[in-house]
Chain A
Amino acid sequence: QVQLQESGPGLVKPSQTLSLTCNVSGGSISSDSYYWNWIRQPAGKGLEWIGRIYTSGSTSYNPSLKGRVTISVDTSKNQFSLKLSSVTAADTAVYYCASASGYLGYFGMDVWGQGTTVTVSS
């Protein structure tokens, strides 16, 4: 089964761009019918879906992030990435990557990374 592992800086300055990578092992990121997702969770709060990318490269994002988010795939490295620009303290959270399989991701987000904590502070 696919395994996921997030990586990236744990501290980002306000107004800068948060960049995280999710490494995919045990399978190919180019596999058909896989959607690659990012989700975040502020400390003590609930889950927020950030967006997802399909194998073809098509993306869907949460409008609440007001156009600050970009998700991309690097097939040569078998990983996908999240970039969130113009960050503020409100973007401080644990960030998870997750995969969803099946037509339109019908089987749900069944594999998750362990999560990585990102703090936005000067």
Chain B
Amino acid sequence: DIQMTQSPSSLSASVGDRVTITCRASQGISNYLAWFQQKPGKAPKSLIYGASNLQSGVPSKFSGSGSGTDFTLTIRSLQPEDFATYYCQQYNSYPHTFGQGTKLEIK
């Protein structure tokens, strides 16, 4: 199985900040990488697919980059609604695997 490792596991930031979350795959996955946002008690919401493509309706403050094994999710100008847990997921090979999550909290 491909291991997905996110860093950091938790992150404190202030409204207006720009933050970056990193996701590393244990082997190359091309750009078959997705990012999800999950709020407590809710289903995950897809933000990005193909490492850098925004899902329809997702604001451009979210951006993704990377290819191969190293990927990043950047969120600029944090707003209160952005504080949530973020997951990466590879879908290059089976089983599709998720990172352990990054909890973004308000400082």
Of residues 93 to 107 in B, which have CB atoms within 8 Å of A's CB atoms?
94-101
Q: Which listed residue (B43, B56, B94, B99) contacts A96, Cβ 8 A?
A: B43
Please, which residue of chain A has its CB at the minimum distance from the CB of B45? Answer: A112
Q: Chain B: which residue is nearest A4 at the CB level?
A: B43
Residues of A within 8 A of B98 (CB): 46-49
Question: A64-122: which residues lie under 8 A (CB-CB) from chain B?
Answer: 64, 96, 100, 104-115
Residues of B within 8 A of A51 (CB): 95
**Contact mask for chain B residues 77-96; partner A; CB cutoff 8 A; 1 contact, 0 none:** 00000000001010100111
B22 within 8 A of A: no
Chain A residue nearest in CB terms to B34: A108
Determine how close the nearest CB of chain A comes to the CB of B15; give it in whole angstroms: 26
* Residue in B38, B55, B91, B99 whose CB lies within 8 Å of A105: B91
Contact of A62 among B38, B43, B55, B95 (CB under 8 A): B95
Taken together as a complex, chains A and B put the C-alpha atoms of A121 and B75 apart, in Å, by 41
Interface extent on B, as a size class? Answer: 20 to 34
Determine the interface band of chain A, counting residues with CB < 8 A from chain B. Answer: 20 to 34
A62 to B34, CA, bound (A): 18
CB of B35 to closest CB in A, whole Å:
9
Q: Are A47 and B95 in contact, CB atoms less than 8 angstroms apart? A: no
Given A49-B95, A49-B98, A60-B94, the answer on whether A106 and B32 have CB atoms closer than 8 Å is yes
- Ranked nearest first, the 10 interchain pairs of A and B with the lowest CB-CB distance are A108-B49, A62-B95, A108-B34, A112-B43, A49-B96, A47-B98, A110-B46, A60-B94, A46-B101, A46-B100
22 A-B pairs within 8 Å (CB atoms) are namely A46-B87, A46-B98, A46-B100, A47-B36, A47-B44, A47-B98, A47-B101, A49-B95, A49-B97, A52-B96, A61-B95, A62-B94, A62-B95, A96-B43, A107-B49, A108-B34, A108-B48, A108-B55, A109-B46, A109-B89, A110-B46, A115-B43
